Amino acid sequence: MEKFRFLTAGESHGKGLTAIIEGIPSGFEINPDFINAELKRRQQGYGRGGRMKIETDTVEILSGIRFGKTLGSPVALFIKNKDFENWEKIMSINPQDYTEEKSFSAYRPGHADFAGSVKYNQKDLRNILERSSARQTAIEVAVGTVAKQILNTLGISCSSKILQIGKAANEADFHKEIDTAKESGDTLGGKIEVIFSGLPVGLGSHVHWDRKLDGLVAQAVMSIPAIKAVEIGDNPLGLTGSEYHDEMYLEGEKVVRKTNHAGGIEGGMTNGENLVVKAIMKPIPTLRKPLNTVDSSTMQETQAHFERSDTCAVEACAVVAEARIACVLVNEILLKFGGDSLEEILKNKEHGKSHIDCF
Ligand SMILES: Cc1cc2nc3c(=O)[nH]c(=O)nc-3n(C[C@H](O)[C@H](O)[C@H](O)COP(=O)(O)O)c2cc1C
């Protein structure tokens, strides 16, 4: 069920990236400076490639906001690809501009090149790279930052951190791990954690498989390029029930817990504790020391295509994960509290208070 919906469009080296968000009630303050600050966070991080130096992403809000507040109408966002000026002919929409400059045919193992080119019947693998590139996560962060501002207005906030990069599980070792990979032309993945606090009890539902919040969050995070595993709360593997489950106590009339192994979701619903989501990112598939592969035009074995690429993007990935989860949570807030304006949502939230004081 989707109340907060969005679609994005745009190629990595095209004119820019676009999104249209539908379903935002009126009256929410949206500040483009906050979106730009989050776009900057996505571009930073040790181990990023050269592109981050030429692009400083800036959002343009095309509709849906007047004098700083949402109108209830669709919000359209645009991020210009500053590199487009170097790619104008190569990415032209006009058939008379046809060129094979920047075309490539040596599949990159781990990327979308092989399956995408078979599926869409494309000989030039650039036609797959341009959309499968994680460049599209820039506009997803912009959309997610609109969602974050809605959540912030309702007292919900988020943070994230890096748990592991390559084999390094301590912050002090992260840069060294990335330097070593970079020197040998290799790449790294890692593990991140995102935490949302201030969530009401009862977002999501136990009544249908497709309304369970853990499933919805997992899908949103798994859809981020290179994410291969999502955990809610602590890994329960090997733990006993008494070790894992979060026992309940009373503090006056308030139900409280001393632990949060469940990561804030029980039965597919928020339980009033912090939502804790962990995700594992695989190593970046484009390597400077290329992997063995096949060339689709010659059908000979060869070395994979290389172009400017990150050594490690785990830090950026955490920002993207915050954004993706924020969209899921806004949708659930709108499903639970309804309303076409901020005032209506606040009223519904107040009226909807449960008989149990749980936060
Ligand atoms: C923030 C971010 C940056 C990324 N940067 C690169 C990159 O520079 N080069 C690359 O080959 N893959 C990069 N990736 C990963 C690929 O986009 C991803 O592996 C590819 O689209 C295939 O999808 P899959 O790994 O989900 O199967 C990045 C991913 C994220 C989230």
Structural contact between residues 246 and 257, judged by C-beta atoms closer than 8 angstroms: yes
Number of the ligand 1 atom closest to the C-alpha atom of 282: 25
128 lines ligand 1 (CB under 6 A): no
14, 17, 3: which is closest to 62 by C-alpha? 17
CA 67 centroid distance within chain = 28
Average pLDDT over residues 244-263: 96
pLDDT at 27: 98
Which helix (H) or strand (E) is 159 found in, with range? strand 157-165
Average pLDDT over residues 21-38: 98
Which residue has 């032209």 as its token pair? 92
Which residue is closest in CA terms to ligand 1's atom 28?
134
Distance between CA atoms of residues 308 and 288, nearest Å? 9
Which residue is closest in CA terms to ligand 1's atom 17?
134
pLDDT at 350: 86
Partner residues linked to 69 by β-bridges: 29, 66
Q: Is a pLDDT exceeding 60 seen at residue 320?
A: yes
Q: Is a pLDDT exceeding 80 seen at residue 24?
A: yes
Structural contact between residues 138 and 60, judged by C-beta atoms closer than 8 angstroms: no
315 lines ligand 1 (CB under 6 A): no
112 lines ligand 1 (CB under 6 A): yes
Which helix (H) or strand (E) is 281 found in, with range? strand 275-281
pLDDT at 55: 64
pLDDT at 359: 41
pLDDT at 1: 78
Average pLDDT over residues 34-63: 89
Number of the ligand 1 atom closest to the C-alpha atom of 228: 26
- Which mutation among 51, 108, 114, 310 tests ligand 1's pocket best, with the greatest number of atoms within 8 A of CB? 310
Q: Which tokens belong to 51? A: 């592109």
CA angle 345, 61, 339 (to 5 degrees): 10
Which residue is closest in CA terms to ligand 1's atom 13?
284
Average pLDDT over residues 237-256: 96
Tens digit of pLDDT for each residue in 49-105?
Answer: 866 666 699 999 999 999 999 999 999 999 999 999 999 999 999 999 999 999 999
Number of the ligand 1 atom closest to the C-alpha atom of 286: 11
Average pLDDT over residues 165-194: 97
313 lines ligand 1 (CB under 6 A): yes
Q: Is a pLDDT exceeding 70 seen at residue 357?
A: no
Question: Out of 3.40.50.10470, 3.60.150.10, 3.20.20.370, 1.10.20.10, which CATH number does the structure's domain 5-351 have?
Answer: 3.60.150.10
Which residue is closest in CA terms to ligand 1's atom 9?
309
pLDDT at 147: 98
Residues composing the chain: 359
Spacing, Cα 89 to ligand 1 middle (Å): 25
Q: Which tokens belong to 71? A: 């109108």
Tens digit of pLDDT for each residue in 298-309?
Answer: 999 999 999 889
Distance between CA atoms of residues 275 and 17, nearest Å? 30
Which residue has 């499933």 as its token pair? 215
Q: Is a pLDDT exceeding 60 seen at residue 358?
A: no
Tell me the one-letter amino acid at 241.
G
- Which mutation among 133, 308, 317 tests ligand 1's pocket best, with the greatest number of atoms within 8 A of CB? 133
222, 204, 214, 232: which is closest to 334 by C-alpha? 204
Tell me the one-letter amino acid at 190.
G
Spacing, Cα 225 to ligand 1 middle (Å): 5
Spacing, Cα 242 to ligand 1 middle (Å): 39
The residue ranges of every structural domain in the chain are 5-351
Average pLDDT over residues 197-210: 97
316 lines ligand 1 (CB under 6 A): yes
Q: Residues near 260 by Cβ (< 8 Å), separated by ≥ 6? A: 233, 246, 273, 274, 276
Spacing, Cα 239 to ligand 1 middle (Å): 33
Q: What percent of the chain has pLDDT over 70?
A: 96
Which residue is closest in CA terms to ligand 1's atom 24?
226
Spacing, Cα 185 to ligand 1 middle (Å): 16
Calculated CA dihedral for residues 254, 336, 319, 321, nearest 10 degrees: 100
